[in-house]
């Protein structure tokens, strides 16, 4: 309950912090020893039909230029990672937050089950 209250009171600063940390974590995408992170981003971008944390341009500094991972592509063609006409335009952070809001009851039940089981 305390965590929930703190979250509600500091929601804006938590969102800003989460976005920055997710952007910082992008640098480990497709690097040695980080296959779980790479798979996680690929799954999120494919399932939520989104690209990047707040914008697809989040990937530009990570992948050197105007390129995104192929999991950002809604149309798999040979040059999809460099062709902006084939990318999802929605931000993943907003899509995931939207999903969490729609499924808040299930998320809360799951969150309550963990401490009960422990």
Q: Residue-wise pLDDT tens for the chain (118 aa)?
A: 677 777 777 788 888 999 999 999 999 999 999 999 999 999 999 999 999 999 999 999 898 888 999 999 998 888 899 999 999 999 999 999 999 888 888 878 888 888 888 8
The tokens of 99 are what?
């999903």
Helix H or strand E segment including 112: helix 104-117
> Token pair 């963990």 is at which residue?
114
The tokens of 79 are what?
């040059």
Domains and CATH numbers, the chain: 1-116 (1.10.1450.10)
pLDDT in the model for residue 56 = 95
Burial code of 32-56, b = ≥16 C-beta within 10 A, e = fewer?
eeeeeeeeebbebbbebebbbbeeb
> Alpha-carbon torsion 79, 83, 85, 87, what sign?
positive
At 87, give phi and psi (nearest 5°). -100, 150
> Alpha-carbon torsion 86, 41, 17, 92, what sign?
positive
> What is the pTM for the complete model shown?
0.80
pLDDT in the model for residue 60 = 94
pLDDT in the model for residue 9 = 79
């Amino acid at each position: 309950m305390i965590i929930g209250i703190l979250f509600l009171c500091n929601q804006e600063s938590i969102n800003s912090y989460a976005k920055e940390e997710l952007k910082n974590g992008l640098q480990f995408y497709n690097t040695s020893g980080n296959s779980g992170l790479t798979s996680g981003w690929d799954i999120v971008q494919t399932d939520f039909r989104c690209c990047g944390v707040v914008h697809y341009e989040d990937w530009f500094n990570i992948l050197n230029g105007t390129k995104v991972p192929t999991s950002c592509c809604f149309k798999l063609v040979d040059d999809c990672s460099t062709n902006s006409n084939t990318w999802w335009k929605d931000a993943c952070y907003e899509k995931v937050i939207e999903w969490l809001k729609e499924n808040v009851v299930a998320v809360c039940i799951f969150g309550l089950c963990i401490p009960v089981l422990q």
